[in-house]
Every structure is written in C-alpha cells, then in structure tokens.
Amino acid sequence: MKVSPQIEQLLNAQINTELYSANVYLTMAAWFYNRDLDGFGNFFLVQMQEEQFHAMKYFRYLHDVEGTFRLETIPTPEQQHASIVEVFQKALKNEEEVTRSTHHLIDMSLQVKDFATYQFLEWFVREQVEEEATMRNILAKLELIGDDKSGLFLLDRELGQRSFEGEAD
C-alpha cells in the first residue's frame, strides 16, 4: 500500500515534531542537571527517549507504506526557564501541541480514507492522553509542594526512579 503524498507529508512533519519534542526534553533535562536536580533531569531524559521512540515508530510506518522520509531543520528549543513549575507548564504545552498535531493527522487520514494510517494513529491517541495526564499530575504535585524543600526532594527522588521501557510496536 502506497501512502498518499498528503499523508506522507504529514507523517514526515509528525516525525519532525517528535524529534523537536525530544530536543525540548533534552534541554529541560540539562536545565535540571545543572541545578543538581538529577531526578527531574532523569524524568526528562526518559521523556526524550519516548519522543525518539515515537519518531522511529512513525519512521518505520512511513517506510512500511512506501513513503519517503524527509528530515527538516529542527528548531533549537528554548533553554532558559524561570522555575521548575514553568518547565512543567512548558512541557504540558509541548504535549498539547503534539496532541493537536496528531489529531490533525488523524483528521486528514480520515478525509483521504487512509484507514491504515488512521488505525496506526490510535496508539498515539492513547499515548498523548497519558503524556498530558503525567505533566498535569506533576504540576499538581508541585503546586501542593509549594516552597517545601523536603517535598521537592521527595519528588526529585520519585522522578529519578523512572526508566524508559521501550513500548512494544
């Protein structure tokens, strides 16, 4: 099955979106590591690995449907943040952007009756629900913690336990 040129273009754009997100999370990880908050840094390194995994999942699918991969220039993400809360607010906004992009791809796949791509994207819909919920949950915890350094220490330790579990294809 050969993918339509329109869906091919959108799949390539989504790969680039996922790679940009990986870079966003890498810069966020560095921001935390530079402040000796290694657990928070670890959290964002795992996020980076997930985004790279997502990009490769799209890449393999594009190959399977006889599409042509085109890497575009990936912008440099913002690297300065005012606070821990701001980092997670930006991470949530980033996930919301990825969700919007995914939904646009779904809409277009239905418009051109590309049901294989539509079915492929179902996994990403569930993944994005989880990604946004994770960011909102951590933001809620940070709100509860406020200026409590011991709470921040415990959250840092909790986030340091996270590891990348390459999801099954």
> pLDDT (tens digit, 9 = 90+) per residue, 24-57?
999 999 999 999 999 999 999 999 999 999 999 9
Delimit the domains of the chain by residue range. 5-70+80-160
Position 93 scores a pLDDT of 98
Mean pLDDT computed over 4-30: 98
Mean pLDDT of the chain, nearest integer: 96
Confidence of residue 1 (pLDDT cuts 50, 70, 90): confident
Confidence of residue 166 (pLDDT cuts 50, 70, 90): confident
- Helix, strand, coil percentages (3-state) for the chain, rounded to 5, are 75, 0, 25
| Token pair recorded at residue 83 | 């606070």
| pLDDT, tens digit (0-9, with 9 covering 90-100), for 100-127 | 999 999 999 999 999 999 999 999 999 9
Position 165 scores a pLDDT of 86
Percent of the chain residues past pLDDT 90, beyond the cut? 96
Q: What per-residue string of b and e applies to 16-51 under the rule 16 or more CB within 10 Å gives b?
A: bbbbbbbbbbbbbbebbeeeebbbbbbbbbbbbbbb
Query: Superfamily for 5-70+80-160?
Result: Ferritin, core subunit, four-helix bundle (1.20.1260.10)
Mean pLDDT computed over 4-16: 97
Q: What is the rounded CA–CA span in Å between residue 91 and residue 99?
A: 12
